[in-house]
Amino acid sequence: MNSIKIKSSTSFILIFSFFCLAPILSYAQSIHQTFDFGRQLMQLNQPEKAIAAFQRVLFFGDEDFQQKVFPNIADCYFLLGDYSAAARYYDLAYFAAATDTAKTDFTFKKIESLIREKSFLFAKVEILNLSDKLPPPLAKKKNLYEGIIYYGLGEYESSKESFLAIVSDENQKEAVLESFSKLKRWKR
């Protein structure tokens, strides 16, 4: 009698488990689907949920996913205003990147995160690590960030020189010089 109860309860559990768990198992996502889901969450402006999806990809995926995932996690933290975490993930993205162009891009994003965090000394270290032989648009971006960094550090002469390197028009140069002369008068 007991063996019949055990067999019937075992059968019931197996049948119940099949019908309850089969729909759940059929919705399992691959690593690629999870990554795409994270990207969709970013597009829907849900960076917290996207971070969770990307972290699953990092945990279950192989090293090839790091090049894709680290910059996406960094972008999510940047959107959330967590610039310290964004800078850390841009740094990881830098080391996972395969090309110099990507490395330069992640360095600029890390610098912007550090500037927004007002970590000007760390931003200065990063900007000084950039090449002096950047294409003109990136050289201007570097000068802009240098100007902001030096200004944040109170190094106004260096800041002024960086801002002057960006502009070519005489009227714009005069505006920069006027702004810094006002700053000198205000500081006195």
Whole-model pTM over 0.85: no
Q: Quick check: 57 and 72 in contact, CB under 8 A?
A: no
Instruction: Give the per-residue pLDDT at 133.
Output: 93
Closest CA to 145 of 131, 173, 132, 126: 126
Query: Over the stretch 1-59, which tens digit does the pLDDT of each residue have?
Result: 555 555 565 555 545 554 554 444 445 578 899 999 999 999 999 999 999 999 999 99
Q: Measured in Å, how far apart are the chain's first and last C-alpha atoms? A: 99
Q: How far apart are CA 18 and CA 11, in angstroms?
A: 11
Taking the C-alpha atoms of residue 40 and residue 45, their distance in angstroms, rounded to an integer, is 9
